Amino acid sequence: MTSPFRAVLGPAFEELHPRLRAYFDAIPPGSTGSGRGVFDTVGTPRRWLWPALAVFARAHVMFPVWERAVPFAVENLPAVSADGGPAVRAVRRFELRGRVLEMRDEIGVDGWMIVDRLGSPVLAEASFSARVIDGGLRLTSRRVALRIGGVRVAIPRAVAPVVALTERYDDERDAQAVSIVVRVPLIGRVYQYAGTFRYQVGRRGSGGDNATTGE
């Protein structure tokens, strides 16, 4: 089965940096994609937003923190979405001061867009346009919805948060660089994280044996 990113990007997928193609391509059955690195920043310094972020933290989406130099790990597993399409389930672990918190999501396809269902249980859903720029991937949210009591509630675009993600490969540092920024109209930036990590795909339970990096 193809990956959500290859399905949405089509021929443009081949324009990605080779290391990013390895990251965004389909993970073979029985394998896991894993990465480790350090994020320069996680959260928001605007403490008045923290009570709202605490609601998202309980569902493993965003956290009421503002920390720097945060050790980070990601684990990606191949999956099939509820509609039978290609998907990737991800767990991202942030080693914050005195605790480890997890962000959990499932990435799939919604027509011509990437759809990210965030949380465990799912609390938010964002649909993204995708394009390749200079070998990197740029995702920009076009629709955002919340799931309240099992009901999907779309947020009107005029007030919906805009999520922008940039992934690129830094050849000088030999690491993958990621940046996510969440902005809300009239408020501005409400959440972010950015940093670098190294990634490989290997057989599940192999402890890194037989791993590939896409080189």
121's tokens: 């249980």
Residue 156 preceded by cis peptide, ω within 30: no
Domain ranges for the chain: 4-201
Q: What is the mean pLDDT of the chain?
A: 93
Q: What is the pTM of this model?
A: 0.91
pLDDT of residue 203: 84
Residue 107 burial (CB count, 10 A):
23
Q: What is the pLDDT of residues 87-110, one digit of tens each?
A: 999 999 999 998 999 999 999 999
Please give the average per-residue pLDDT across 191-206, as a whole number.
90
- 4-201 CATH choice from 3.40.190.10, 3.40.50.300, 3.40.50.1370, 2.40.128.20: 2.40.128.20
What is the distance between the alpha carbons of residues 78 and 141, in angstroms, rounded to a whole number? 23
Amino acid at 20: L
Evaluate whether 113 touches 139 at the Cβ level (below 8 Å).
no
pLDDT of residue 206: 53
pLDDT of residue 131: 98
Q: Is the predicted pLDDT of residue 205 greater than 90, yes or no?
A: no
20's tokens: 């990013």
Q: Is the predicted pLDDT of residue 201 greater than 70, yes or no?
A: yes
Give Cα 135 distance to the centre of its chain: 18
Q: Is the predicted pLDDT of residue 207 greater than 60, yes or no?
A: no
Band of the pLDDT at 215, cuts 50, 70, 90?
very low
pLDDT of residue 209: 44
Return all residues near 1 (Cβ < 8 A) that are at least 6 apart. Answer: 26, 78, 80, 86
> Contacts by 100-104 with C-beta closer than 8 Å and gap 24+?
101/57, 101/60, 101/63, 102/60, 103/60, 103/61, 103/62, 103/63, 104/60, 104/61
